Amino acid sequence: MKRRSLVIALALVFALVVTGCTLTTQRRVTGGAANVLTNAIFYAVPKHVPAGAPGSVYRIQRLQGAPNGAIAWRVLYHSRDLDDRDILVSGVVVAPTSAPPSGGRTIVAWGHPTTGAAQSCGPSSNIAPFDLIEGLTALLEAGYVVAATDYPGMGVAGPDSYLIGVSEGHSVLDSARAARHIRAAHASSNLLLWGHSQGGQAALFAGQLASTYSPELHLHGIAVAAPATDLGALLKDDIGTVSGVTIASYAFQSFSTVYAPTVPGTQLDTILTPAGAQATPGMAELCLVSGHAVLHTIAGKLVGGYLAADPATTMPWASLLQQNTPGATPLDVPLLVAQGDSDTLVHPSATDAFIAHECSIGTKVTALHIPNTGHGTVALKALPMVLSFFAHLGTHATASPAC
């Protein structure tokens, strides 16, 4: 691990010399290389870790290469898994270096889209962790502290959590709590949630859980872009593509591992073909970007032959997918939902159905449909509206609400 990190760092420094990057780019890339060199030490924890309150910080490290005008840390903090057991989760906290307002800065807790499901796929351990927080520069310029969880089991070792709503939601809320433990961040108890794709599901679950799980945090609003909502529909819509099989492999491996001790019938061969069940554990160890070529090759052979049954109608899978679909309870703060009309991963029809459901149970929803926009760019295109929505919460000055 150390040797691989050193090779990466030296290669990046050499690339900077050859290409003649700007001073800002040099600072960020060399800073990222320096961060990677400490990964093995930072994420290593003893077998027995003393219990801690949710959000309390176990380990903290100043990150090099933070955006201009900002200071950043990566943290290991305590959270709770699906069964309310104490776990450690990793993440990043970024704050402006300007003078904070009276009372401290509002926290924006960010839920990242799919980067993988394995420990090595945690964004905080990446060479460019700041680039994976969509809208970070604009959020910092607006004066927010940004807390970005990796989710359980990513970055630091822990239980699988891919599309496990409660585990993800806890980790999002506890990242905000962790930010409040960093004195130099000047974080207040005011909280906003922002997430994309998988992170949209995580933010929505965090919103459902906030009032009971973290009552000391004052949640004011939630914004999501192309959120993973109806998980049964998501798997059905996408299973005929390489991307769909890849996402399904992360989800089925996660669900099988998490629920197997308590829910009979969650072995992979109860829902997947023999070829699918054999390939899934290995696929789940590959990160979405670094493992792209291998994932593409494996998943391509499984398209049309991955599922043995429909998980949306086959028990216990149907029940588990429903448990991890957001919307069981209304949100008591305003919600902005952005959706790209050209999205072929999270289909617009699925997001429209979620919006209609939220309206029917009493959530105040503002819908933003962005034309000619796919899954990968919807969060960045929605950002101006997200910032306006956050800035004008309670004034109804953002757009005509969906309900």
Question: Which residues fall within 8 angstroms of residue 313, CB to CB, at 6 or more apart?
Answer: none
Tell me the H-state helices in 239-273.
Answer: 242-259
Contact 380, 387 (CB under 8 A): no
Q: How far apart are CA 351 and CA 339, in angstroms?
A: 7
Contact 130, 28 (CB under 8 A): yes
Task: Give which of 312, 351, 115, 324 is closest to 208, Cα–Cα.
Answer: 324
For residue 147, give the amino acid letter. Answer: A
Residuewise pLDDT in 10s, the chain (403 residues): 444 444 444 444 444 444 555 655 666 667 677 888 888 999 999 989 999 999 999 999 999 999 999 999 999 999 999 999 999 999 999 999 999 999 999 999 999 999 999 999 999 999 899 999 999 999 999 999 999 999 999 999 999 999 999 999 999 999 999 999 999 999 999 999 999 999 999 999 999 999 999 999 999 999 999 999 999 999 888 899 999 999 999 999 999 999 999 999 999 999 999 999 999 999 999 999 999 999 999 999 999 999 999 999 999 999 999 999 999 999 999 999 999 999 999 999 999 999 999 999 999 999 999 999 999 999 999 999 999 999 998 654 445 577 8
Q: Are strands 86-96 and 70-80 parallel, antiparallel or unpaired?
A: antiparallel
Task: Give which of 288, 43, 258, 292 is closest to 162, Cα–Cα.
Answer: 258
Neighbours of 1 (CB within 10 A): 10
